[in-house]
Structure 1
Amino acid sequence: MTATSEQLKIQHQDNANRAERLRDAVVVQLQALLDKHELTLGVPIESRVKTWASIEEKLQRKGAKLENIFSLEDLIGVRVIFLFRSDLDLAIKMVTDHFEIHSAEDTSDRLGESEFGYQSQHFVVRLPSQWLSLPSLTGLGDFVIELQLRTLAQHIWAAASHKLQYKQETGVPPPLRRAITRVSALLEIVDLEFERVLEERRKYVEENQANASDDEPLNVDNIASILASLLPANNRKDGEHYADLLPDLIAFKVDTRKKLTEIITRHKSKIMQSDSEHLARRKRENEPVTERDARGVFFAHIGLAREALRMEFGSKKVSDVMARNRKS
């Protein structure tokens, strides 16, 4: 039975807060899954609950009919934008593994081989039953959620084509088609070139670990590799900013693999003792328990490397260099 506009409006008002609660919970769960799988976002997760004004306009424009507000597939929308195409591919599997899929579409399937247009992965999902058993999600199983997954390059195209209203080739004035086709091709090349950079970086890291010279100058990749080989894996933090550590090392002429390795090795027992002491202090002072506290660590790899610098060159000198580098 088709609901009237007034009935849908009342249903929207009655369920808007529940929809917002579900939106917030889905974003939290998605972010946890992305962190677990170490997938790189291009921008923070975007989400919204559709307003009644937007719903009403869409129904009028498309002449659509709904049985109830819960049959509106994009009432709750979440968009995840990835920096790399390979992360998008992994995210598609992640979604299919963790959500109940109501429908799925790769919008590029709408395009012919010589056509350009909007590209994105669209899913309409429900929460799995095990999630709905959580107190924070109880009673939210009547909603569906629209998930959109795309790369940053695809998102640039989506945003620009929405503004220009050039969503497909047929909508583009003939004099502009060559220019807009070049833009579409360039954005696809961006995705492909990023993937090539990732692959070349992976090969470099693998070869570097096996064949690197002691005198090789430090860079962000071999710093990460050196610290990973010398320090406990439990201390490592996702997304460590090795680029921030590099100028601190260079300031003290710790500029080769050999020099960094020697300093870490020389002070390893002391920096691990410092890690334990900082953790014990947090417990004594009853500071809020963090995820790292639960893992029994205080410093990340970069923090341990800076502790080694302090022990080698003095705490004040290291603090002064860090302050100076942060200003530059």
Structure 2
Amino acid sequence: MSFLFPEEVAQACSLIDKNFKVEYRKNIGQKLLPNEFGYQSVHFTVRLLPEWLSVPSLRNYSAFQAEIQVRTLSQHNWAVAARLLQYNDESFAPPSVQRSFYRVAALLEVVDLELERVHKERKSYKERITADGFDQPLNVDLLEAILAANLPKSHRLDVDDNATLLLDLNRCGVKKGAEVIALIDKHLTQALVNDAMALKAAQAGDTTYEVDPSRLKNGVFYSHVGLMQNILNLEYGVDWRRT
């Protein structure tokens, strides 16, 4: 399994340790010296935990093992390239190629470090948003924070299309956080009425939208982005998308 950020690798390894019986674990990158670049990955050999084997449908899997490899996408790119070129060990490469190969490894490690920097800076920015106030020029992270603070938590999705909503707001001339909050204050009650109507139609099977059954069960139809697009319809009319 591959992840975008190095910290997610550590989180995945922790989950594997907690949820499987680990027979073998090796961090391949630990063998690299400080002045070396190369393949990095965490390899596991695991079995199901005894409590899982007590489940009737899993009882026959006690003898089975599975291998799990955990790394970042950059590390996975290195692994795929090495395998395709048959340079599974860097020493397998001709001397004339080794320098270029190590240079690629160094660049991929820099990619991981810079992505981790972006991830941390974004988290730091999001933590400062509330303290700095919402009346700032809109960006995706500020917009997400405004919606989280001003719309019902029950409608929130872990991953929502805030980037498209930001384009929609720009198209309507909404450029600052305070303007978004003003629209929510003005139209949220009616948007929630529209949500209830859409929910009722979806529960009756009368909708053209693809709907997550768990959301219907929880009594919600629109996500935060959906509610906000409803609010734009109420403020600017349904033809605003054509402008």
Is residue 72 of structure 2 the alignment partner of residue 151 of structure 1? yes
1:39-188 superposed matches below 5 A: 80-134=1-55, 136-188=57-109
Equivalent pairs, count = 240
Q: Deviations over 1:32-77 (max 9, x none)?
A: xxxxxxxxxxxxxxxxxxxxxxxxxxxxxxxxxxxxxxxxxxxxxx
- Equivalent residue, structure 1, for 2:218: 295
CA distance in 2, matches of 1:289, 1:183: 42
Query: 1:146-183 CA deviation, whole Å, 9 max, x = no partner?
Result: 11111000001101111222333422322333222211
Deviation at 1:258, TM superposition (A): 1.2
* Displacement of 1:93: 0.5
Match of 1:226 among 118, 137, 146: 146
Q: TM-score, normalised by structure 1?
A: 0.68
* 1:82–1:151 CA contact under 8 A, matched in 2: yes
Deviations 1:255-307 (A, max 9, x none): 11111111011111111222222222222349987121222211111001101
Aligned partners of 1:84 and 1:148: how far apart in 2?
Answer: 15
**Aligned-partner SS, 1:240:** coil
| Larger CA deviation: 203-212 vs 282-291 | 282-291
**8 Å CA contact retained: 1:104, 1:121:** yes
The answer for the alignment partner of 1:61 in structure 2 is none
Residue deviations 1:1-28 (CA, integer Å, cap 9, x gap): xxxxxxxxxxxxxxxxxxxxxxxxxxxx
Calculate percent identity across the aligned residue pairs: 38
Deviations 1:221-276 (A, max 9, x none): 11101100001222111221211111111111011111111101111111122222
What is the TM-score normalised by the length of structure 2? 0.90
Q: Partners in 2 of 1:236 and 1:137 — Cα distance? A: 35
* Cα gap change, 1:281 to 1:165, in 2 (>3 Å): same
- Kindly indicate whether residue 203 of structure 2 is the aligned counterpart of residue 283 of structure 1: yes
- Which amino acid counterpart does residue 281 of structure 1 have in structure 2? A
Offset at 1:135?
Answer: 5.3
Q: CA deviation at 1:115?
A: 3.0
Shift of 1:308: 0.6
Decide whether the 8 Å contact of 1:88 with 1:151 is kept in 2: yes
Residues 122 and 146, structure 1, Cα contact 8 Å, conserved in 2: yes
Q: Which residue of 1 aligns with 2:174?
A: 254
Partner residue of 1:204 out of 125, 128, 140: 125
Distance in 2, Cα, partners of 1:274 & 1:294? 17
SS of residue in 2 equivalent to 1:166: coil
Instruction: Give how far 1:190 is off.
Output: 0.5
Structure 1: gaps (5+ residues):
1-79, 322-328
Aligned to 1:267: 187
Q: 1:281 to 1:130 in 2, by over 3 A?
A: farther
Task: Give 3-state SS (helix, strand or coil) of 2:60's partner.
Answer: coil
**Superposed CA offset, 1:163-222 (max 9, x none):** 2223334223223332222111110111010010111111112222211362x2211111
Cα distance in 1, alignment partners of residues 236 and 180 from structure 2: 13
**Matching residue of 2:228:** 305
Misfit runs of 4+, over 6 Å? 286-289
Q: Which has the higher contact order (CA 8 A, sep 6+)?
A: 2
How many Å separate the matches in 1 of 2:74 and 2:153? 34
| Aligned-partner Cα distance in 1 for 2:88–2:35 | 15
